[in-house]
């Protein structure tokens, strides 16, 4: 496994593979089983796999959140080597942003809801860095986890807008034994908070059963109510949306692809998850 820090050296390494299929997994490091499942799938489906490890400052609208984001570079390298990764790209901020990226993307209604509403500028930052990484790696396929459900929709839209020839592959959420969706942010939870955070996936799973007998509004109210008795939790949103448009639905027959999406604080740590109805 080769570790490179510049776009020039990344391209030099990729040239050695002589235009073979390239799989790419962009990450912000602090890797866990969810990331590694993406890497393993890329290794299976491509001739060469590149993983980027870069904590992108332009997608954080909260500087404190950026500063406390976990960084575990040496452990990340070991995990990636064991997973069969060929090239790790670990650039510095100056490499990716030699000058300010002033591009402003317009994703229409898919960026004004949920994460877009609560984290203004977040998806513009995501589009800036992922497009830069796609131009650097020129992958055949790129792999993303479905935990970041809205992000996958944004990236698919960005690829269309910029006409980047890459196949975007969304992979299932990987969960801890408790059901908690794997996330680098889980490492920032205390032991007690981590135990409590399992409630998120438990509530989402139960809500699927209630959907047979309850209206969309009743299910939303029920989910919100489950977190009100414990002040460890603070809800940003729980919405039930059309999986393609990301717009709220008001009845179950409005779409044949309905997803419940949640963002909730457990202590100071913001966690997201989703479930298909």
Distance of CA 65 to the CA centre of its chain: 16
Which tokens belong to 245?
A: 């448009």
- Counted residue by residue, the chain has a size of 277
Whole-number Å distance between alpha carbons of 94 and 91: 8
Is 32 annotated in the active site?
Answer: no
Q: How many CB atoms lie within 10 A of CB 234?
A: 12
Residues 6+ apart with CB under 8 A from 207: 219, 222, 223, 260, 275
Instruction: Pick the closest to residue 80 from 95, 90, 91 (CA basis).
Output: 90
Whole-number Å distance between alpha carbons of 17 and 25: 17
Q: Which residues pair with residue 167 across a beta bridge?
A: 141
Catalytic residue chosen out of the listed positions 32, 35, 122, 276: 35
Evaluate whether 137 touches 166 at the Cβ level (below 8 Å): no
As annotated, the active-site residues are: 35
């Amino acid at each position: 496994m080769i570790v490179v820090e510049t776009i020039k050296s990344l391209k030099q390494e990729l040239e050695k593979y002589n235009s073979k299929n390239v799989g790419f997994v962009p990450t912000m490091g602090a890797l866990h089983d969810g990331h590694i499942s993406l890497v393993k799938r890329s290794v299976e489906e491509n001739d060469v796999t590149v993983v980027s490890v870069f904590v992108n400052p332009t997608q954080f609208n909260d500087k404190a959140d950026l500063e406390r984001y976990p960084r575990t570079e040496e452990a990340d390298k070991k995990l990636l080597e064991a997973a069969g990764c060929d090239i790790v790209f670990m650039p510095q901020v100056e490499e990716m942003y030699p000058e300010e990226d002033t591009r402003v993307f317009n994703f229409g209604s898919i960026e004004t809801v949920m994460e877009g509403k609560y984290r203004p500028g977040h998806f513009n930052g995501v589009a800036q860095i992922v497009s830069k990484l796609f131009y650097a790696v020129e992958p055949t396929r790129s792999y993303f986890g479905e935990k970041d459900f809205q992000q996958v929709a944004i990236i698919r839209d960005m690829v269309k807008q910029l006409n980047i020839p890459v196949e975007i592959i969304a992979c299932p959420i990987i969960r801890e034994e408790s059901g908690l969706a794997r996330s680098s942010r889980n490492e920032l939870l205390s032991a007690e908070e981590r135990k409590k955070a399992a409630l998120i996936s438990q509530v989402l799973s139960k809500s699927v059963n209630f959907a047979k007998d309850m209206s969309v509004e009743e299910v939303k109210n029920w989910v919100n109510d489950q977190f009100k008795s414990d002040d460890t939790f603070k809800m940003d949103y729980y919405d039930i949306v059309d999986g393609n448009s990301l717009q709220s639905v008001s009845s179950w027959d409005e779409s044949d692809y309905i997803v419940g999406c949640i963002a909730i604080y457990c202590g100071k740590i913001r966690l997201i998850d989703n479930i298909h109805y």
